[in-house]
């Protein structure tokens, strides 16, 4: 027998976006139903951000031991116990899981249903034996790894981010198809943990980022022994014994790469199958659910957030969108998404972080821009830590307004935040030039870039003439 639940808000999907909506709405007094068919916490906790960063941390520890000779320490090749590395990854997940658990959300007053859900009409969802009728709905079902139509790929036991963290032994040779953030992060991590690694990327790696910054990352990966094949079109994959063979055309030349494991990291697809979107009158495509600036679907009772919309597939975007939905759904405040100050970080070493417009994007939009920059090699803290690869590059528009920023180097993900604030608040670069930065810190590079922007004027001939003139009357 089915039973009916009445709610103010029904959320499908307990990933980062859905959890943020459910927690916020429930604590504000709304009646909330949260539906999840798989694991609480979604991709981020179980197969994405958390396990990948835990693996990267283990890889960093191995690399620190390997490279400690530059500090006068007895550096040596580490003995990596891959099974214990997997244990570390799982322990990190387990430590965070209670925060995302059904028990915690039930404690907040949320009704949690563990079942598959689909729309039975424009204002009703069926989940297991329950029917949920709500004033508003939020689809936050996320995304899954996209498997390209490469002949033989389905029979090659290919790994994705959903399975690579289950390995209990180190790959002898990991072949990575895809040179985006996931591909390069996993490539470097496994290389540092002792595997041979080859990246096959159709174009250039990290194609959405500043080419100069990408060049810094590429040099480090290659210096650490990662083989990068750009301009590679994969045409076939197959099993060979206990391993795998990938046939490709690399810049037009045929090539065959044999490895022990294959990781596919070429993008993600929105999880919309089985949701009954047509029954609810919700427009969607292969890319995902169509939403407006207020994250409303074509059914005005239904919102969609996060990866399922096909745009900016990042955990922090889903969390940001959750706030937009709460303001719209609960308070009828016409809040809209603003991505001008949206940042992203690729967690290689060195890290690569970006916010706003690149110089090319700004010029395409008709902006007259100047660039300001500062190299980590000029920073005393970077010198002390022997991590001088990288720079900050700032795109500055009319009236010295900050339009974009790229940071590549150790800790770039932490260093990008002041520039996110500057863009979100419409600040000029002078605001950064006037701050007092603690010494010695890596954060000084931001002030250094801002100061460099004004240096030609401040130390130019006009200023020298004014100073000499004023000294005559002092």
Can you name the residues that pair with 200 across neighbouring β-strands?
177, 229
Which residue positions form the known binding site?
53, 141-143, 178-185, 267, 307
Token pair listed for 448: 């250094």
Enumerate the β-bridge partners of residue 259: 244
Binding residues for NAD(+): 178-185, 267
CB atoms within 10 A of CB 429: 28
197 within 8 A of 191, measured Cβ to Cβ: yes
d(CA 195, CA 172): 5
User: Which residues are annotated as part of the binding site for FAD?
Assistant: 53, 141-143, 307
Helices 49-66/82-96 angle, 10° precision: 140
Between the two ends of the chain, the Cα-to-Cα distance in Å is 93
Report the C-alpha gap between 250 and 138 in whole angstroms. 44
For residue 302, the cross-strand partners are 137
What is the number of other CB atoms lying within 10 angstroms of the CB of residue 462? 9
Nearest to 445, CA basis, from 385, 377, 397: 377
For residue 245, count other CB atoms closer than 10 A to its CB. Answer: 18
Residue among 258, 59, 277 nearest 173 (CA): 258
């Amino acid at each position: 027998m089915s039973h009916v639940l009445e709610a103010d808000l029904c959320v499908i999907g307990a990933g980062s976006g859905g959890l943020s909506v459910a927690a916020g709405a429930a604590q504000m007094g709304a009646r909330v139903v949260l539906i999840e068919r798989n694991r609480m916490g979604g991709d981020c906790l179980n197969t994405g951000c958390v396990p990948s960063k835990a693996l990267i941390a283990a890889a960093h520890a191995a690399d620190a031991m390997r490279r400690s000779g530059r500090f006068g320490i007895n550096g040596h090749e580490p003995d990596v116990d891959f099974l214990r590395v997997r244990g570390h990854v799982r322990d990190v997940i387990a430590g965070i899981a209670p925060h995302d658990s059904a028990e915690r959300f039930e404690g907040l007053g949320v009704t949690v249903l563990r079942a598959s859900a689909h729309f039975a009409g424009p204002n009703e969802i069926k989940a297991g034996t329950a029917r949920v009728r709500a004033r508003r709905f939020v689809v936050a079902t996320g995304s899954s790894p996209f498997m390209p139509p490469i002949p033989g790929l389905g029979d090659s036991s290919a790994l994705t981010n959903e399975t690579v963290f289950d390995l209990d032994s180190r790959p002898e040779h990991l072949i990575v198809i895809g040179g985006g953030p996931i591909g390069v992060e996993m490539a470097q991590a496994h290389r540092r943990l002792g595997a041979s690694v080859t990246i096959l990327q159709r174009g250039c790696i990290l194609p959405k980022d500043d080419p100069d910054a990408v060049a810094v990352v590429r040099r480090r990966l290659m210096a650490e022994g990662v083989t990068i094949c750009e301009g590679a079109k994969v045409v076939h994959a197959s099993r060979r014994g206990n391993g795998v063979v990938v046939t490709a055309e690399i810049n037009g030349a045929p090539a065959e790469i044999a490895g022990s494991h294959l990781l596919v990291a070429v993008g993600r697809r929105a999880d919309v199958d089985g949701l009954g979107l047509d029954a609810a009158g919700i427009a969607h495509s292969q890319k995902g659910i169509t939403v407006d600036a207020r994250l409303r679907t074509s059914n005005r009772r239904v919102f969609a957030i996060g990866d399922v919309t096909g745009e900016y597939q990042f955990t922090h975007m889903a969390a940001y969108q959750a706030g937009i939905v709460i303001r719209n759904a609960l308070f009828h405040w016409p809040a809209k998404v603003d991505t001008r100050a949206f940042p992203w970080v690729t967690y290689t070493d060195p890290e690569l972080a970006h916010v706003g417009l690149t110089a090319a994007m700004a010029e395409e939009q008709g902006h007259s821009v100047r660039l300001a920059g500062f190299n980590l090699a000029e920073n005393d803290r970077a010198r002390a830590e022997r991590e001088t690869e990288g720079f900050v590059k700032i795109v500055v528009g009319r009236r010295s307004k900050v339009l974009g920023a790229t940071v590549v180097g150790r800790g770039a993900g932490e260093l990008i935040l002041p520039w996110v604030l500057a863009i979100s608040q419409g600040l000029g670069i002078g605001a950064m030039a006037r701050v007092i930065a603690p010494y010695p810190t890596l954060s000084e590079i931001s002030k250094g870039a801002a100061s460099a922007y004004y240096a030609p004027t401040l130390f130019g001939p006009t200023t020298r003439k004014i100073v000499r003139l004023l000294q005559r009357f002092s």
